[in-house]
Amino acid sequence: MVHGYNGKIARVNLQERSFKVENPEESVYKMYLGGRGLGAYYLFRELAPKTDALAPENIIIIATSVITGVPIAGMSRCSIIAKSPLTGTYGETEAGGFFGSELKGTGFDALIIEGRSVKPVYLFVQDNRVDFKDASTIWGKNTKEAQTEIREQLNDRHARIALIGPAGENLVRYACILNELKFAHGRGGLGAVMGSKRLKAVAVHGNVKPQLKDPEKVQNIAKWMATHWKELPGTVTRSTLGTADAVLPLNALGILPTRNFQGGAFAKAENVSGGKMAETILTGTDGCYACQIRCKREVTTDVPYETEPEYGGPEYETIVAFGPLCDVGDLGAVSKANELCNAYGLDTISTGSSIAFAIECYESGLLTSKDTKGLKLRWGDADSVLQLIGMIAHRQGIGDLLGEGVKRASEKIGKSSNRFALHTKGKELAMHDPRGKTGVAIGYAISPSGSDHMQAAHDPVFAKPSKFMEIAGITKSVDPRDLGPDKVRAFVYAHLWWGLLDCLGACKFVFIPHNAGVLDPHQLVEIVNASTGWQTSLWSLMKASERALNLARAFNMREGFTAADDTLPERLYEEIQFGPSKGAKINKEQFQNALHLYYEMMGWDPETGAPSATKLLELDLGWINEH
C-alpha cells in the first residue's frame, strides 16, 4: 500500500469516451514527484515530435503531486501540462485553489486526456471513475454561467471545476483555464488546447483521499505553520494587501513595467496599489486549500466598471498588465479587465501585453484606424482596453490578430513592429522588468515554457542574508543588476528550488526561502516523508527538480528549439526611458556570457544549450535518447 498518493492515474480518451486506470511504478513517483515532473515525463514519452498543439494528438496532463492535499498551507497547487499553442514548446501552468486537493481525493493522482471529442463535453471525475457529460448547452458560455450550470446538472454544489470560456473555444493562443472562476492556470494557452478538444470543463469531487504515513507529524507541521506565519512581516503584508503589495516597491525602484516596458515608473501607481484596493474596493479575502495567509482578493466596484465578486480581485500581474503597462490608472477599470478575462478565460498577462503592443503600434502609426475599424488605441484609454478584451476573446476585428499573441501579430503587421512585441519564445513577458533584476532575465530566456516570472527567486533575495542564502551555501551577496558568476550560481540554485515547488504543487509564497517564506526546505522534506513514508532528502528532491527541467528542455530541443531561442526582446537591451531606473539596460554581451555560464553549470552544451549525454545519464534520463 502506498501513502500520500494514490498510485493511480486515469487515462481519458475523448474520442472514444472511455477511460482506463494505470498504476505507475513507485519509482516514477520517486523520480518525478508530480506536477511539472510527472507532466514532463508523460509529455516527453507520449507526444510525437512536431505535433500541432491544437491537433487532437496533443495530450493534456492534469497532475497533482505526492503531497497535494496534505492539510498544510501551500499544498494546494495543481499543474496542467501540454504542448503550448502560443510557443510551440513544452507548456506548463500551475494554479492554487481547491481543484488540486479535490482531484487527489478522487483516487487519481493525475489525468491524461487524449483525443478530441466529436461534440462538446465535460468530465466528471469522482471516486475512481470518470464520466463524460454533454456540454452542448454550456459551450459558448462565460465561465461563471458554465460553472453554475455544471453544478446544477451534477446536482453537486461542492464539485470543484476547472473550465474554459469563449476564448478557449475560439482558440485564442493565450486562453487560460480557470478553477473556481479566479484561480487561473493562466499561461501558455492551454485553455485553447482544451478548446481544440471540445473539452469545456473538468469537474472533480473526491471522497477517497490517500492515507498519510504519519498523520501526527503532518498535523504538527500544520500547527507550526498556523502559529508562526504571522511572525513574518512580508507574509502579513501579502495577507493584508495581496500580491498587489509589490506595486509601490517596484515603482519606487523604477522597474514597474509602464507603457509596454518603455519606462519603469507610473505616475498613478498609488491609484492601483494594494493599499488603495484595501481602502476602496476590497470586500473580502480568499485563499487556497488549508492556507491561513489568504492572499486572494475579492472586490466590488461601481459604475462605470461594476464587477462581480465571484471573479476575484486583480493580482499584481493583472494590475500591472492593464494598469501601468497600458497607462491606465483606474483601479475600477483594472478590476473590470480582470473580471472580463476570468469570464472569457483569457490569460491576463498576455492579454494586457497584447493590448499594450497594439497601442504602441497604433501610437507609432504601424496600426491605423483602418486596421482597427475606427477604434482609437491610446495610452490611458481604459474603455478601448476593455473593448479589446472582448474582441480578443471572440476573435473579432483586430482582436483576431491580437489573439494570436504579440509574436505572430508582429510578424503579420511587419514594419518593425517586432520592436514592440515583448516576449520570449512567443510568450508575453510577465510584469517584472529584468533591467532592474537580471536573474529574472536569465529566467525569462531559459524558461522551457517561455517568459515566466515564477522560474526563480527574484534578485533582491540574493542581495542580503536570507534563509535561502544560508541553505544554499551562498555567502556572498549579489547586486540585483549583476550578471557575473555569483549571480548565475545563485540563479541556478534558486531555479532548481522553485522548480521543485512546481513538481510538488507547493505554493511559492509559503515556501519562498527568504525572509517572507514561512516553511523552510527542511520542513518540506519532512512533509514528503511524513506523507509517503519515504526516506528522501533535500538533495534527492532537488535532483527530481533538475530531472524535470532537463526533460522539459529535451522536449523543446526535440521540437527544434536551440540556444538561439534563449533570447530577450531587444527593448530589454535598451535603456529604461523614465523613472528612478532611467538609463538601466541589460548588456547583451554580459547576458550572453551569463547564459553560457549557466549552460555549463547545468551540464548543458555551452553552444547548443542541449543537455549533455553525461548530464542525462547522471539524472537517470538516458532513456530519452530512445524517444
Question: Among residues 150 and 241, whose Cβ is nearest to ligand SF4?
Answer: 241
- Could you tell me if 177 and 193 are in contact, meaning their C-beta atoms sit under 8 angstroms apart? no
Integer Cα distance of 505 and 556 in angstroms:
23
Eight-state DSSP code of residue 85? T
Q: CB-based burial of residue 589 (10 Å sphere; 0-12 exposed, 13-18 middle, 19+ buried)?
A: exposed
Sheet with 78-83, edge to edge strand ranges:
18-22, 9-13, 110-114, 60-63, 78-83, 90-95
Cβ distance to ligand SF4 smaller for residue 58 or 235 = 235
- Residue 263: φ, ψ to 5°: -130, 180
Q: In the complex, what is the shortest distance from the CB of residue 72 to ligand SF4, in angstroms, rounded to a whole number?
A: 10
What is the SS3 assignment for 161? strand
Q: Which residues contact 367 (CB under 8 A, 6 or more apart)?
A: 358, 361, 377, 398, 413
89-548-71 Cα angle (round to 5): 115
Residue 574 near residue 587, CB atoms below 8 Å: no
259: which 3 cell numbers? Answer: 507603457
- The window from 53-61, 72-80, 133-141, 265-273 that contacts ligand SF4 (CB under 6 A) reads 72-80
- Of 279-308, binders to ligand SF4 (CB under 6 A) are 287-288, 291, 293-296
Rounded least distance, CB 260 to ligand SF4, Å:
28
CB-CB contact of 547 with 620 (8 Å): yes
Q: Which of 83/508 has CB closer to ligand SF4?
A: 508
Q: Is 226 in the site for ligand SF4 (CB under 6 A)?
A: no
Residues between 417 and 456 with contacts to ligand SF4, criterion CB under 6 A: none
Cβ contacts of residue 560 below 8 Å, gap of 6+?
A: 50
Q: How far is the CB of 598 from ligand SF4 (least distance, A)?
A: 28
Query: Whole-number minimum distance, CB 525 to ligand SF4, in Å?
Result: 19
Q: State the nearest-atom distance from the C-beta of 573 to ligand SF4, in Å.
A: 33
Shortest spacing between CB 74 and ligand SF4, in angstroms = 5
74 binds ligand SF4 (CB under 6 A): yes
Minimum CB distance to ligand SF4 smaller for 291 or for 413 = 291
In angstroms, the Cα distances linking 12 to 1, 34, 147, 201 are 25, 18, 21, 13
Cβ nearer to ligand SF4, comparing 76 with 126: 76
Residue number with CB closer to ligand SF4 (175 or 291):
291
**Of 225 and 541, CB closest to ligand SF4:** 225
Find the part of the chain contacting ligand SF4 (CB under 6 A) among 71-79, 210-218, 526-534, 566-574. 71-79
Which residues from 489-508 bind ligand SF4, rule CB under 6 A?
507
Asked if residue 330 lies in contact with residue 307, where contact means CB atoms within 8 angstroms, the answer is: no
CA–CA separation, 202 and 164 (whole Å): 9
Asked whether position 105 contacts ligand SF4 by CB under 6 A, the answer is no
**Complex with ligand SF4: residue 73 or 193, whichever CB lies closer:** 73
Is 510 among the residues that bind ligand SF4 (CB under 6 A)?
A: yes
CB of residue 454 to ligand SF4, shortest distance in Å: 11
Judged by CB under 6 A, which of 88, 96, 505, 579 binds ligand SF4?
A: 96
Given the rule CB under 6 A, which residues bind ligand SF4?
A: 73-74, 76, 96, 287-288, 291, 293-296, 507, 509-510
